[in-house]
Structure 1
């Protein structure tokens, strides 16, 4: 695995963060965390604040995976919302998870303020509907979230769209003033520095080869080992074959992102209120402005996480359809990144044994969820497992066809829902 960040706009504009040496020799810790993405950094930071000795092992660099490549949008809840959770898993599960649905965004803001993290944090998010049927989905979305305590929502019809988006593509939008966006890699780098300021250790270029089970498990890399009271597996889409039972019930998927040249004053014609936007189609587009007024535009899914050869050719048509005024705009950066999909589209949380915990499968809602689950994992390791158990009680379903056929089966289902979106069905 390469230890260089993907050639993204985020890597090119990242804050200074010197490489951290790989693990060497034998070490002791209270908690060994595998993965220096948001899940690992969030749980490590909460644990360090509680006085735990924390060692984080990262195969590449801090924020190398989805945490440093994503769209940078602070999106609440989960990839399946509370109504679906209630229908499938009961009112108690919906009430428990719904009570945490907006907590991740608050944690991000608290972290940024407490540790002075420079990550271009901006307020305001928008959900956009392209058809009348999708407008009804926004109306349902608004009512559902208000039931669970979000009182910062405003539904605007086509007449109000242009106050926020310079596009004729939408019938209506739902403005969420509690949403927002960030430079995702700089958030990860800032959280890593905060963890280290509390005595935590982060080792890069330290791929974990195996976890030796026991009362005090031992985590082995090519250059050393960490013996700990607890282990947290926080690898998500990059778990590989480390724990096959986790890999068997999830699937890495790729999404593509581009960043245009700086738009100068044209940014006001595109996103005049500087909110981030995502539509509510099954295969959605999402976009926002960077601090230097580039349009960062993403979308599409590559099942099985194959890197597409021509990212710009995949993204540009939707970008220019949304914003015809940007036809021919120069694309300065194009990259792809993997996220981990579960069949239920809900995260998978649990224990492999009494000392090894895991969280994976954010299914596209990772920015806020990972910050929430970091707190929840920390609580569980301190003996307060009620919120952890609310997630752990959700069933983990295998994909139809197993690991061999999960990609074509899932792609076929996605094609069907995308067709329905295109036809307005």
Structure 2
């Protein structure tokens, strides 16, 4: 069987040491079989183990191989569609439940880092940067909205204040969220995997789930073994493939591109981001960036619908970086990579149950670092019989992409082109 290693990236090159985790051989029995060792699967496994369940995790490649180990590393609160949009769709009662959970994922990350002493370069503080007066008005509304749900670690930044936190001349203002922040995402996943194993959980790498045998005692089959379980959690997200056809129809893998510069040195790095906050702008097709622990600039942006890998990632992202920071014109790019996230038509997560014993969460739509950690807790609660918060997500309406799988990519790309045009024209 082929051994799938991490794709080349800054994160893979700077990952903390991790043990070899052998592929599943033969048959095992467990309480819960988790498919996928990304954030959703690892978070679910940790909460279940802490509550006395026996857990086996199957990973097709390596821990954090997918979006969990390749993302921009930013801790961003709420969902890809904010609470006011949810409220208009489902009403105040369900929105209240979801709003109360919107800031929980970041707290879970910090609790995990502290409890299990995970070394992942955790830093506090995230900035939403406005390029237009209209975007600034949206941030003012967002601050009022989030404060309605008890989130008060927010500060609006006028043009003078945003210059104090980011050396970019393009921004007219912004909002600082001190409960936001950034991490080395792969090292967070590796630390959570070690925590799973410290509690008696078992992780098998190079063990793709190839078939689920449904029924009262479901069985997950891999190329060289099988897991018989009481419950299954499907946490493959954009890397699930067609293992569960019902989930593939209402979602679409998309690629995003990231680059990492050479080390900038303390002086240049401090001049760009004096407080070491992470930043994302307010465009529909947004750019995001931050400093690493060794003072590189990580810069990401753009979306490739259908998850194709672009031929030249640096050619796509470097111009975006230089537009924000022309002072980096002579700086070398050491790493460039892409990774897939899962998009839903509503841009809200899909959570649910198939039959009585197969649970799933997917479709973070680019907002996954915090949501996946919350999802693990919500899924674990549901398996323990506490389903109110699970049901709040499960009851969100979801629809297939227009035109089915054949046309979902061009339709989504057309929509993105339209919103990208609006961004450029300042609408």
Q: Select the residue among 322, 326, 329 that pairs with 1:327.
A: 329
Q: Provide the C-alpha distance between the structure 2 equivalents of 1:18 and 1:197, rounded to a whole number of angstroms.
A: 13
Q: Provide the C-alpha distance between the structure 2 equivalents of 1:68 and 1:124, rounded to a whole number of angstroms.
A: 21
Q: Residue 141 of structure 1 corresponds to which residue in structure 2?
A: 142
Q: Residue 7 of structure 2 corresponds to which residue in structure 1?
A: 6
What are the equivalent positions in structure 2 for 1:2-401 lying under 5 Å apart? 3-264=4-265, 265-401=267-403
Query: What's the Cα RMSD here?
Result: 0.7
> C-alpha displacement at 1:328, in angstroms?
2.6
Q: Provide the C-alpha distance between the structure 2 equivalents of 1:171 and 1:147, rounded to a whole number of angstroms.
A: 25
SS in 1 for 2:147: helix
User: Contact 1:27/1:226 (CA < 8 Å) preserved in 2?
Assistant: yes
> C-alpha displacement at 1:389, in angstroms?
0.4
User: Contact 1:259/1:332 (CA < 8 Å) preserved in 2?
Assistant: yes
> C-alpha displacement at 1:336, in angstroms?
0.1
SS in 2 for 1:126: strand
Superposition misfits of 4+ residues, deviation over 2 angstroms: none
Q: Residue 409 of structure 2 corresponds to which residue in structure 1?
A: 407
SS in 2 for 1:15: coil
> C-alpha displacement at 1:2, in angstroms?
5.8
> C-alpha displacement at 1:170, in angstroms?
0.3
Unaligned runs of 5+ in 1: none
Structure 2 CA distance for partners of 1:291 and 1:305, relative to 1, 3 Å: same
> C-alpha displacement at 1:19, in angstroms?
2.2
Q: Provide the C-alpha distance between the structure 1 equivalents of 2:201 and 2:3, rounded to a whole number of angstroms.
A: 24
Q: Residue 422 of structure 1 corresponds to which residue in structure 2?
A: 424
Q: TM-score, normalised by structure 1?
A: 0.99
> C-alpha displacement at 1:365, in angstroms?
0.5
Q: Provide the C-alpha distance between the structure 2 equivalents of 1:34 and 1:52, rounded to a whole number of angstroms.
A: 16
Unaligned runs of 5+ in 2: none
Residue deviations 1:66-114, cap 9 Å, x none?
Answer: 0000000000010000000011111112101000000000000000000
Q: Provide the C-alpha distance between the structure 1 equivalents of 2:81 and 2:90, rounded to a whole number of angstroms.
A: 12
Q: Provide the C-alpha distance between the structure 2 equivalents of 1:102 and 1:333, rounded to a whole number of angstroms.
A: 32
SS in 1 for 2:86: helix
SS in 1 for 2:101: coil
Q: Provide the C-alpha distance between the structure 2 equivalents of 1:104 and 1:241, rounded to a whole number of angstroms.
A: 28
User: Contact 1:19/1:61 (CA < 8 Å) preserved in 2?
Assistant: no
SS in 2 for 1:99: helix
SS in 1 for 2:210: strand
> C-alpha displacement at 1:329, in angstroms?
1.2
SS in 2 for 1:134: helix
Q: Provide the C-alpha distance between the structure 2 equivalents of 1:3 and 1:253, rounded to a whole number of angstroms.
A: 21
SS in 2 for 1:422: helix
SS in 1 for 2:280: strand
For these two proteins, the number of residue pairs brought into alignment is 425
SS in 2 for 1:163: helix
Q: Provide the C-alpha distance between the structure 2 equivalents of 1:379 and 1:188, rounded to a whole number of angstroms.
A: 21
Residue deviations 1:136-165, cap 9 Å, x none?
Answer: 111111111111111111111111111100
User: Contact 1:286/1:298 (CA < 8 Å) preserved in 2?
Assistant: yes
Residue deviations 1:1-43, cap 9 Å, x none?
Answer: 7611110000000000122000000100000000000000000
